[in-house]
């Protein structure tokens, strides 16, 4: 059963170095300035349990873990995230903006790790009680460029080879092409302000 909601749910998705956190911040600022209650959040790790899962999922000390284990841990992080952060925000009528959500699992654990994307979608659909974003913004960037944009050492996923990240990118684009009404794809090589303006316009059009 879908979680009850009165607010508006936005997810930012995309590959490494696409500038999602900057855009989350700019959108939150613009919506707050117009009087909206805004909750910004991220995956993996924006809950007490999630912080521990994040350590396991992204820390190199974890070493090799089975791909299914990885997929289930991301889904577990998401279940906790929805139950304790996203659903309460939407129930209050807030705009909730998340940096990554279900499509990250479908693209990274599905296309990237080459598990069946339909299985990945199913476990996250169950984990979230079928809570899908009202709008998903895909910040699209060639991973050959995005992967050069780090200022911190690469985590377990970032350290995957270019071909992995290319599959991830293609899958984000394929998901967007399947449901164009619920997606906005933006060229992440444009300036932050240009991207922010496109994002703001798309959100404004859909806000209840
Ligand atoms: P992080 O450093 O938090 O953020 P970002 O790369 O978005 O700036 O890294 C999160 C990493 O976790 C990123 O490499 C993608 C990966 N990830 C998955 O593989 N599956 C998922 O379901 C999620 C939410 C993230």
Pocket of ligand 1 contains residue 103 by CB under 6 Å:
no
CA of 44 to the centre of ligand 1 (A): 7
The residue whose C-alpha atom lies closest to atom 23 belonging to ligand 1 is 104
For helices 48-58 and 67-81, give the axis angle rounded to 10 degrees. Answer: 160
CA of 63 to the centre of ligand 1 (A): 17
What's the pTM value of the predicted model, to 2 decimals?
Answer: 0.96
CA distances from 181 to 4, 20, 103, 198 (A): 22, 20, 16, 15
Mean pLDDT value across residues 1-27: 89
Domains in the chain: ranges and CATH: 8-206 (3.40.50.300)
Pocket of ligand 1 contains residue 157 by CB under 6 Å:
yes
CA distances from 67 to 18, 43, 53, 73 (A): 24, 18, 15, 10
The residue whose C-alpha atom lies closest to atom 13 belonging to ligand 1 is 157
pLDDT of residue 3: 53
Q: Which atom of ligand 1 is nearest to the CA of 18?
A: 8
CA of 35 to the centre of ligand 1 (A): 30
The residue whose C-alpha atom lies closest to atom 21 belonging to ligand 1 is 105
pLDDT digits (tens, 9 = 90+) for 62-93: 999 999 999 999 999 999 999 999 999 999 99
Mean pLDDT value across residues 167-182: 98
Average model confidence (pLDDT) across the chain: 95
């Amino acid at each position: 059963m879908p979680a009850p909601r009165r607010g508006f749910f936005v997810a930012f998705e995309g590959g490494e170095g696409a500038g999602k956190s900057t855009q989350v911040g700019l959108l939150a600022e613009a919506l707050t300035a117009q009087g909206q209650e805004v909750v910004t959040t991220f995956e993996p790790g924006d809950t007490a349990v999630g912080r521990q899962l994040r350590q396991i999922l992204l820390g190199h000390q974890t070493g090799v873990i089975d791909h299914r284990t990885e997929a289930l841990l991301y889904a577990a992080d998401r279940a906790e995230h929805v139950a304790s952060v996203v659903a309460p925000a939407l129930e209050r009528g807030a705009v909730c903006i998340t940096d990554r959500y279900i499509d990250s699992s479908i693209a990274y654990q599905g296309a990237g790790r080459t598990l069946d994307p339909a299985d990945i979608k199913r476990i996250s659909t169950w984990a979230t009680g079928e809570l899908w974003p009202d709008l998903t913004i895909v910040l699209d960037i060639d991973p050959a460029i995005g992967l050069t944009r780090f200022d911190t050492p690469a985590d377990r996923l970032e350290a995957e080879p270019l071909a992995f990240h290319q599959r991830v990118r293609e899958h984000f684009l394929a998901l967007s092409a399947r449901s164009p009404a619920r997606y906005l794809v933006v060229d992440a090589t444009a300036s932050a302000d240009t991207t922010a303006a496109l994002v703001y316009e798309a959100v404004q059009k859909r806000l209840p």
